[in-house]
Structure 1
Amino acid sequence: MSEEPVSAAILLAAGTSSRMGAGRHKLLLPLAGRPLLQHCLEAILGSQARPLVIVLGHRAEEVRAALSDYAAHPAVEVVVNPAYAQGMSTSLRCGLQALLARAARLGEPPPASALIFLGDQPFISSRLIDRLIATWRSSGRRIVAPSYGGKRGNPVLFTADLFPELEQVEGDEGGRRVIERHRSELALVEVEERLAAYDVDTWEAYQAVLEGQPGQGQDNVPL
C-alpha cells in the first residue's frame, strides 16, 4: 500500500450557466457523444486523485441523471449545494465539508490536499492532474496550479491546512484570495497543452469546440 500523501478532488458543477444563454446548461451539452461534464469527470477518475466529491446545484437532478453511470463508483460522492445561487464560494465550502464528512464517516484519515476543478474544462487530462499531484509531493508547496503560457489556470491544489481559509471565502469567488495571501507558497506547473485551459462557458465557445476550432474560444478564468 502506498504511503504517499493523498490528494482528493472536488468538482464544482453547481453554477447556473448564465453566460451560455437561452436557458442552456453548459455541463449537459453533448460533446463527443456524452455530456460535457463527463469529460472532466473521467479525467479525474483516470488520475491518482481520490476520492472525488461532485457538487451539484442548478438543475441538480438533471445533472445527477447525466452522471448516473458513475454514482456507484466507490471513490465518487455526489452532494447538492442548496445555496449555489449565492456564488461559487458556497459550492467550494459544500465540497470541502462533504470531503471531510466522508472521511469521518468511513473512518479514514482526511486527505492531505484537494484539487478544485471547474466542470466546464472538457480537455483536462489525467496526465496533467497527476503532474500537479506529483509537483505537490515533491515541492512541499501548499498550493499548486497549472500555468498556461505564463498565465495561472485551473485546477488548483490546496493542502488541507488551507481548507479553513477556503471555507471563509464568500460570494462568487473560489480560492483566489487564499492564493494571493500565500503567493510565496504557490508552485506553478507550466503546461504545453493549452487546450486543457479551454473554458466552454459561452455558446460561441461551445460552437468553436464543435467546429474543431476551440482556440477561438476563451481560456478558463482562474479559480
Structure 2
Amino acid sequence: MLGAVIAAAGLSSRMGDFKPLLPYRGKTILAATVEKLRAVGAKEIVIVAGHRHEEIRKYFKDSSLKIVYNPHYRERDMLYSLQCGIKNIKKAAAAFIMPADMPAISLQTFADITNAWQANKGELIIPVQNGRWKHPPLIGRRYFADIISFSGENGMRGILNKLEKKAFLIEISDDGLNVDVDTPEEYRRLLETEGYSEKL
C-alpha cells in the first residue's frame, strides 16, 4: 500500500492568502493533489497542518485523510512538518513526500513514479528533470527512520543527498514539476496556464 505526506502547515506569507485552500480546477490546490495521489493508489494520506488547520479539517471532514497538527509551524521548517507526517504513516510500504503548493504536477508523473516503485527499481524513487531533483520523491518505509531522525542542514534535500546512492532516479518531462505557488503572480500564472480562471 502506498501513502503520502503533504506539508500544509506554513503561513503562506508571500502569497497573502492561504495557499492550500485557494481555488483550483473547481476544488482547491490541496484537494487537487490529494485527488491525484488517490488515483495512483495512495490510500494512507497524511496532511500536516498548522496555520488555519481547522479550515483544512473542515474542508476534508468527510474524507479518510489523516490531518496532523504541527504546533510549531511558526518556528520550524517544512522538514519538521514532513517528519510529523512520516511518524503518522502506520501501514504504507512507501510514501510520497511533498509540499502542498504544487498542484500542477500531472497524474502521469505520479503514475510513472509509482510504476517505478512497483517494478522494484528501488525503495527510493526521485523524479529528475534536466539533472535536477524534483518533488515528489517516493520513499520506502525502510528509510522513514532516516527522515525522522535527521537533524542536519538543507531539509529534505539534505536527507536525499545522504541517501543518494540508494536512490533510483527517473527522468520526468512534466512542466508541473517546476510550478509552485508562492506569490499572487505565480498563482495567476498557474491559472492562466491551466486555462482556468478564478477571481483573485
- Give TM-score, length-normalised by structure 2: 0.86
Matches within 5 A, 1:1-223: 6-20=1-15, 22=16, 24-68=17-61, 71-73=62-64, 76-85=65-74, 86-100=76-90, 110-170=91-151, 174-212=155-193
Q: Kindly state the Cα deviation for residue 196 of structure 1 after the two structures are TM-superposed.
A: 4.0
TM-score, L = length of structure 1: 0.78
- Post-superposition shift, 1:140? 4.1
Asked if 2 retains the 8 angstrom alpha-carbon contact of 1:89 and 1:170, the reply is: no
Determine helix, strand or coil for the equivalent of 2:89. helix
Deviation at 1:82, TM superposition (A): 1.3
Q: What is the aligned residue count? A: 194
1:56 touches 1:81 (CA, 8 Å); kept in 2? Answer: yes
- C-alpha RMSD over aligned residues: 2.2
Q: Which string of whole-angstrom CA distances, capped at 9 and with x for unpartnered residues, describes residues 98-122 of structure 1?
A: 113xxxxxxxxx3222111211111
| Distance in 2, Cα, partners of 1:36 & 1:132 | 21
The secondary structure found in structure 2 opposite 1:199 is coil
Among all aligned residue pairs of Structure 1 and Structure 2, give the percentage whose two residues are the same amino acid.
31
Q: Check 1:203–1:18 CA distance in 2 against 1; reply closer, same or farther (3 A cut).
A: same
What is the CA-CA distance between 1:173 and the residue it aligns to? 5.3
The answer as to whether partners of 2:6 and 2:97 remain within 8 angstroms in 1 is yes
Matching residue's letter, 1:58: H
Offset at 1:171? 8.3
Q: Residues 132 and 144 of structure 1 are in contact (CA less than 8 Å); yes or no, is this contact kept in structure 2?
A: yes
Equivalent residue letter for 2:29:
L
Distance 1:72 1:182, change over 3 A: closer
> Which SS does the other structure have where 2:43 is aligned?
coil
**Contact 1:146–1:152, Cα closer than 8 Å, also in 2:** yes
Shift of the 173–58 alpha-carbon distance from structure 1 to 2, 3 Å rule, reads: farther
The gaps in structure 2 that reach 5 residues or longer are 196-200
